[in-house]
Structures are given as C-alpha cells and as structure tokens.
Amino acid sequence: MSIRHTLGLVPVLFAAIVIAPAADAPAPVAEEKQQIEERQVNVWARKEISINARGSDEADVASRELWYASFDGKAWGEWQKHGIVFQKEQPISWAPNEGHWKLYFRKTLIAGLAAPVPEAGTKGHAEFIIDRTAPTGAIEFPTSKAKLRGGSKYTIKWQAADKYLKASPITIRYSRDGKGTWDVVAQDIPNTGSYEWMVPKDMTTAGQLQVLIADKAGNVGTVESLSVLVDSVNPGGMVTGPAISAKLDTTLDTEVRDVGPAGLSAARLWISQDDGASWAEGPFLTEPFKSVSWKATTDGKYRLAIVATDQSGNISVTPKGKAEDQFLFIVDTTAPAITLSSAQGIVEADKAVAGRRAFKPGDRVAVPFAIKDANLTPNSVTVLLQTDGKAWKELGKGLPTDSAFRFEIPSIATKTAKIKVTAVDNAGNLGEVVSVEGFEIQTTIEADVIDIK
C-alpha cells in the first residue's frame, strides 16, 4: 500500500509494510481512510515509514529535512525537526509513535537555497494516522459456559470500541470443538452490537464464539466466549407410580431424564381429569426430580404427564389428548359399600331368604351379600363370626366378591351370634358390614320337668 504527496514538483512515496498473518489468524484486513473534515486521511499500523523523494531539480538537491507535528484532537502542536538531515538520495525513514501526524519536507539546494522553516500556519505535505492498538470489546451474550439450544435462533450481543473502527468492522466466527476450526457466522458487518444467529444443531460442550473487531489500520481485536454448550435434544419424563391412591394427597414417583449435555433445570407435573380432553399445570418437581407431591381435587381417574426443561432451554412436549407416555392414575378414598341380604347375616343354605333365627351345629347356612366399589380387589372378602360379644373369628378369607359364603354352624352355644363381612379395594380402603340382628346356636336340649296328674 502506498501514498503519494507532492512537494512542489517533487513526488513523495511512502513504502508499504506487509506483515504475513499467522496460519490460524483471520484473513488480513484492508486498510481504510479516516474522514477528517473534507480530507481522507490514511490510517496505518506501521512501525516505520520510508519516504523516497524525487524532483525535476534533483541534480541541484543537496539535502532534505523532515519536520513533523502532531494533532491532539483539538489543535496541531509545534513543528519539530527530525534529528537527521537526509542527504541527496538517502532514504528518509521515521518510526513515529501512535498518533495523528502531518509532515513537512524542507529541501536545500547545492547553491544553498532552502525552503522556509515551517511555522504554525504552514500546511504539511502529508498527513496520516498511526494506530497500532487493536480495538477492544466484550461479548455480552452468549457468555463463556453459556448453554444454548441447537437449531434455535439467538441474538449475539457485543460491545466494540476504537477511535478508528472500520465502517463494517465486525466478523463473527464459531468453533464447535474450540480447537481452531472456525465457521464464519457473519463477516464484515456494521458495529450494531447485535446479530441474529441460528445455532447449529451439532451438540458440544467445548464451543467457542469469537467476535473479531477491525480498525482502519488493519488491527484486529478478538473477544471470545469459551466452553459454550450446545444441546439439541429435548429432555423427557413420566410418572411411574403408584397406580392408585386412597388419599387425595399423594407423592408420585417420577422418572425425568436428559440425554443431552446441558442437564435438567426444571420439571412440572401436568394433570388431566377428563381423559386427555384438557390439561392443567400442576406442581414443579424439585431436584433430583424423583418424586412430586400433588393433591387431587376429587376421586376419579387422572392422566398424568411430566414436562421437563433442560439448562439449554429445550422443553419436552406439552401434553395434548391421550398418549402412551402418559400415566393413568386413580384416586379412590371411598371404602367398598357392603350390604347383607338378611338382618341376622345368614340364611339357610337352601333358601334365598331368612327364615329361622335359631340353628344347631352342622346346619348349612349361607352369608349372602352385595358389594359396590369401582376398584374392588378380587377375592378380598373375609367373613367373621362373633358370639356373645367376644372377639371376631374368621370363618373364611380371600373369598370371591360376587358370591355368597357357605359354612356349617359351629358347635358354640350362644344366644347372640353375629356376622361381619369385610372387603378391600385396590386403593387399600377397607369396607365392612355387621349384621343388625343376631341369631342363636343351640347345642343342648334341656330336660323337661314332667308332672303327671
């Protein structure tokens, strides 16, 4: 890159300095000029400038002096003379500090005639800016160790600062492995501070996002977010038990899983009371997401589902209708309702209705009953006998719920015997009924007192 200025009739050439980038560095940045009032001023990052001056009167030139002045942002400083007088054909070189400069070349001829010494109002022959400092900045989002959803759109946010930023100074790159393999997300875009980015679906825990900030001198500042995690898989969860409860308040067993790298952040129970026609949100699970306490509003059948969220924001599907991954749950707080067909609890085995109320040992009798319960446990009936208010004794256990129990009257003398029938439902509720009236078991015949007259 070069710049040409005219000193009277003498063209002045500034040689370009080219620095090869490192193998893993971004492509070199083209320099841009800075608009200052009506002037277009070159901005360079060079450590040294070299000037070759030639003119039509070169045969008469004895030497040249380099004078320079700097601009502090408000006013130009005093002209200063370079410490070396450059003889004819001697290359003029100078290593300026960073800053805004203008140059003046004072030529002296062999005859002794010299150009005037520059004064405050003297215009320079050349003007340029030296800027070797890379721009600074910061990535506001995503930060290092951020957890993102693969296949979702995010807004990259950054800050960039430099006195001489390029017109389109921003390049954004992404590395999935964080080992220097880069994909360009956006190149040479304006410094708006934000950019919409569709995150790739490839999952990683070592992603790296890089924002390159270029100035007009070709300096490039780099800001990075390291260890960016990308998770593209939705978590999942379900209720695993129990299938039925005898209480409105229940602790449900759950299984929540996340196969992606982000890890779980939340899980919530969803409930349907109308077999999937509608769904409502329930309580949140707490870590380690193994159970959740929930209170049903009433007895009935429920469909239950878990909606899980991972730390990247992936969410499992919200339940709709009926599905195989939903859990069927029954709340039953009501004990089985049992009725006896006779007031004393038994009837003669060969008769359908109650007849006599006194029996002898060995008589075959039946205990007819009926049970109502939506969740009755099969073969859960127990029949018990009580005599004279003493402890109940089992006559039969594990009996069918839909047929009368038959037994022989035992040899226990009693004036008052009663029958009790119990049954259990699947929720563990115990129902029972006791005969309202008693019956008598006669074991002896009293001797008659005979009086013959």
- Interval 358-410: pLDDT, tens: 999 999 999 999 999 999 999 999 999 999 999 999 999 999 999 999 999 99
pTM assigned to the model? 0.75
Under 8 Å CB-to-CB from 223, ≥6 apart: which residues? 137, 138, 139, 158, 210, 211, 213
d(CA 99, CA 372): 97
In this predicted model, what pLDDT tens digit does every residue of 93-106 receive, in sequence order? 899 999 999 999 99
- 3-state class (DSSP) for residue 58: helix
- DSSP symbol at 370: E
pLDDT at 7 over 80: no
Q: How far apart are CA 419 and CA 433, in angstroms?
A: 8
Quick one: which of 330, 418, 341, 405 has its CA closest to 374?
A: 330
Q: In the predicted model, what is the mean pLDDT of residues 237-261?
A: 97
Q: Which residue has the higher pLDDT, 27 or 170?
A: 170
Question: For residues 226 and 259, is the Cβ–Cβ distance under 8 A?
Answer: no
CATH number of 3-130: 2.60.40.10
The two tokens of residue 284 are 């949140």
What is the average pLDDT across 226-234? 98
- The CA-atom distances, in angstroms, between 131 and each of 101, 165, 221 are 11, 11, 13
For the chain, give the percent of residues with pLDDT over 70: 94
pLDDT value of position 11: 33
pLDDT digits (tens, 9 = 90+) for 398-444: 999 999 999 999 999 999 999 999 999 999 999 999 999 999 999 99
Amino acid identity, residue 411?
A: S
**205 burial via Cβ count (<10 Å: 0-12, 13-18, 19+):** middle
Q: Where in the chain is the domain with CATH 2.60.40.650?
A: 236-331
CATH code given to domain 236-331: 2.60.40.650
User: For residue 221, what are the CA distances in angstroms to 40, 137, 255?
Assistant: 24, 8, 48
Residue with tokens 């005093």: 78
**Hunting for tokens 């490839």 — which residue is that?**
202
What's the chain's average pLDDT?
92
What confidence score (pLDDT) does residue 90 get? 87
> Any residues with CB less than 8 A from the CB of 72 and at least 6 apart, and which?
none
The predicted structure's pLDDT at residue 24: 56
Per-residue pLDDT at 16 exceeds 80: no
Write the CATH number of the domain with boundaries 337-441: 2.60.40.10
* Phi, psi for residue 257 in degrees, rounded to 5: -140, 150
Q: Which of the following CATH numbers is that of domain 136-231: 3.10.180.10, 3.90.420.10, 2.170.130.10, 2.60.40.10?
A: 2.60.40.10
231 with 314: CB under 8 angstroms? yes
| 410 exposure class (CB count in 10 Å sphere: 0-12, 13-18, 19+) | middle
pLDDT > 90? residue 311: yes
Residue 6: the pLDDT is 35
Residues 235 and 316 sit within 8 Å (Cβ to Cβ): yes
Can you spell out the DSSP letters for 195-248?
A: EEEE--S--EEEEEEEEEEEETTS-EEEEEEEEEEEE-S--EEEEEE-SEESSS
Contact of 267 with 282, CB cutoff 8 Å: no
Residue 332 burial (10 A CB sphere; 0-12, 13-18, 19+)? buried
Residue 293 to residue 300: CA distance in whole angstroms: 17
Parts of the chain belonging to CATH 2.60.40.10: 3-130, 136-231, 337-441
pLDDT, one tens digit per residue, over 59-88 is 999 999 999 999 999 999 999 999 889 998
Q: What is the DSSP letter of 289?
A: -
Q: What share of the chain is helix, strand, coil (3-state, %, to 5)?
A: 0, 55, 45
Q: Is the peptide bond before 378 cis (omega within 30 degrees of 0)?
A: no
The string of pLDDT tens digits covering residues 187-210 is 999 999 999 999 999 999 999 999
Question: Is residue 156 predicted with pLDDT exceeding 50?
Answer: yes
Express each pLDDT in 335-345 by its tens digit. Answer: 999 999 999 99
Looking at residue 26, its pLDDT comes to: 74
- What is the predicted pLDDT for the residue at 308? 98
What tokens were used for 234? 């939705």
Residue 140 has pLDDT above 50, yes or no: yes
Residue 18 has pLDDT above 90, yes or no: no
Q: Report the alpha-carbon distance of residue 434 to residue 419 in Å, rounded.
A: 6
Please report which confidence band the pLDDT of residue 25 belongs to, taking 50, 70 and 90 as the band edges: low
Three-class DSSP category at 284: strand
